[in-house]
């Protein structure tokens, strides 16, 4: 059966809450029926609590600049589901999305099996589409964890990357960092090189790498970042040196102090690929970082006031956001607009984001599992003023008014919230309002 784009969206929406059986087994079964397209791909498999999307985007941009065709599978999307599957930085079209979906679901239905989960279908679509597009590299970002994730259907990736380990999805991955690290370490494969970001100090990961003979590159080893400068055009300049490389005066088209750590991880991955024989010189590194796009992560919209969109949705991400706001806007009035989901540690998230804020606006992401704005407001302790607007548009309007022309309204707590308000703001800018 051939599905239209609208039918595909409806099917996936219905499958969103479903978990039929084991996701990894489901993905392997569907991929086998499609001829195991993942086995013919050079996969760069990336896991981590924070930073995996940014590292994926940086790595993809550098590979493109080096002349390689790179597919990228990421989650969640900000505005349109097509964003999750892209080739050379361009999201798959509606027509191609429908075609890829039809191939996967037809195989599933012909096998007489139950409906696969939302994420499993998309993962299999990505593997199949990248094989059909004949990409040189397929950058696959895990959904949750790694060991049992649908993306872990690849047996011998070209490279594995674990960016960071922190508290998120604890109801699935476990309550301790060791539990969480164990799940993410499940992407490490025998004889395949491994790049570690800030996750390098966890024994469970190191043991797994040693047991499987994975040559390990540690992005934080002898890491030195100097000459940090906030440049025009909402970019940052820096020089960076580690055990593996040294670059002077790089330009990064992503803001956020935390993006410098992500850049170190991405550049270490580039070094690992070079060691494996791939031609990636200094010029594409500079070009890729200077042109990379990763919306919704300390994304600054110019205006009076400035608006910052950041998808910080766990404790570490919130702390990174607060640090960046302090660094970039030490003398500006910053008004956080915060909305979270029920399954998050909302108290710690808003505690970090709103630290030192005199005024906070609480709202609700456009999601069935959104935490009510009033309940979120009850978790705040420090701010002098708290406004409650369940409607995100009204919340942002209140924040911009409170910030004043010289201030900053910072939207955070959920990528669903960021995606909704980002879409509305960009629509307004396009209309000239």
DSSP letter at 370? B
**What's domain 5-291's superfamily in CATH?**
Mur-like, catalytic domain (3.40.1190.10)
Where are the domains positioned within the chain? 5-291, 299-425
Ordered DSSP codes for 325-368: HHHH-TTS-EEEEE--BTTS-HHHHHHHHTTT-SEEEE---SST
Q: Report CA torsion sign: 289, 293, 297, 298.
A: positive
Decide if domain 299-425 falls under CATH 3.90.190.20. Answer: yes
The phi and psi torsions of 119 (rounded to 5 degrees) equal: -70, -35
Torsion over CA of 401, 253, 222 and 190, rounded to 10 degrees? Answer: 110
**Would you say 379 and 347 are in contact if contact means Cβ atoms under 8 Å apart?**
yes
Residues ≥6 apart with Cβ < 8 Å to 106 = 1
User: pTM score > 0.85 for this model?
Assistant: yes
Residues ≥6 apart with Cβ < 8 Å to 429 = 301
How far apart CA 310 and CA 254 sit, in angstroms, is 11
Question: Angle between the 392-403 and 415-431 helix axes, to the nearest 10 degrees?
Answer: 70
Number of H helices, E strands in the chain: 15, 17
From first to last of its 433 residues, the chain has per-residue pLDDT tens of 899 999 999 999 888 765 555 889 999 999 999 999 999 999 999 999 889 999 999 999 999 999 999 999 999 899 999 999 999 999 999 999 999 999 999 988 776 566 788 999 999 999 999 999 999 999 999 998 899 999 999 999 999 999 988 777 767 777 788 889 999 999 999 999 999 997 666 889 999 999 999 999 999 888 999 999 987 678 999 999 999 999 999 999 999 989 999 999 999 999 999 999 999 999 999 999 999 999 999 999 999 999 999 989 888 889 999 999 999 999 999 999 999 999 888 998 999 999 889 999 999 999 989 999 999 999 998 777 999 999 999 999 999 999 999 999 999 999 999 999 999 998 877 776 5
How far apart CA 142 and CA 125 sit, in angstroms, is 14
How far apart CA 204 and CA 60 sit, in angstroms, is 28
**Would you say 254 and 308 are in contact if contact means Cβ atoms under 8 Å apart?**
no
The phi and psi torsions of 172 (rounded to 5 degrees) equal: -110, -40
């Amino acid at each position: 059966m051939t599905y239209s784009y609208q039918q595909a969206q409806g099917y996936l929406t219905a499958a969103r809450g479903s978990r039929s059986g084991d996701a990894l087994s489901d993905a392997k079964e569907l991929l086998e029926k499609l001829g195991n397209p993942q086995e013919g791909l050079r996969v760069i498999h990336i896991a981590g609590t924070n930073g995996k999307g940014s590292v994926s985007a940086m790595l993809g941009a550098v590979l493109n600049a080096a002349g390689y065709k790179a597919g990228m599978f990421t989650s969640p999307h900000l505005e349109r589901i097509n964003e999750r599957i892209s080739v050379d930085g361009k999201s798959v079209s509606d027509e191609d999305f429908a075609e890829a979906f039809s191939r996967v679901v037809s195989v599933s239905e012909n096998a007489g099996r139950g409906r696969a989960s939302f994420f499993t279908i998309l993962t299999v679509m990505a593997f199949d589409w990248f094989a059909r597009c004949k990409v040189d590299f397929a950058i696959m970002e895990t959904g949750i964890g790694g060991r049992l994730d649908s993306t872990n259907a690849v047996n011998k990736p070209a490279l594995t990357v674990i960016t960071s380990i922190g508290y998120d999805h604890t109801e699935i991955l476990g309550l301790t960092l060791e539990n969480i690290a164990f799940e993410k370490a499940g992407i490490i494969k025998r004889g395949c090189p491994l790049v570690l970001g800030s996750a390098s100090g966890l024994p469970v990961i190191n043991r797994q790498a040693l047991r499987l003979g994975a040559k390990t590159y540690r992005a934080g080893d002898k890491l030195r970042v100097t000459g940090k400068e906030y440049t025009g055009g909402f970019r940052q300049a820096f020089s960076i040196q580690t055990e593996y490389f040294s670059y002077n005066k790089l330009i990064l088209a992503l803001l956020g102090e935390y993006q410098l750590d992500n850049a170190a991880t991405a550049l270490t991955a580039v070094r690992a690929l070079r060691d494996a024989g791939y031609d990636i010189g200094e010029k594409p590194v500079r070009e890729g970082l200077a042109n990379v796009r990763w919306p919704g992560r300390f994304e600054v919209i110019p205006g009076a006031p400035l608006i910052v969109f950041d998808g910080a949705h766990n404790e570490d991400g919130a702390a990174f956001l607060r640090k960046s706001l302090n660094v970039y806007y030490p003398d500006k009035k910053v008004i956080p607009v915060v909305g979270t989901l029920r399954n998050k540690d909302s108290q710690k998230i808003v505690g970090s984001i709103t630290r030192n804020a005199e005024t906070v606006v609480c709202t609700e992401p456009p999601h069935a599992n959104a935490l009510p704005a009033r309940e979120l407001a009850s978790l705040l302790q420090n701010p002098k003023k708290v406004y409650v607007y369940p409607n995100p548009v009204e919340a942002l309007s209140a924040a911009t008014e409170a910030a004043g022309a010289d201030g900053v309204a910072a939207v955070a707590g959920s990528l669903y919230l960021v995606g909704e308000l980002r879409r509305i703001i960009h629509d307004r800018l396009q209309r000239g309002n």
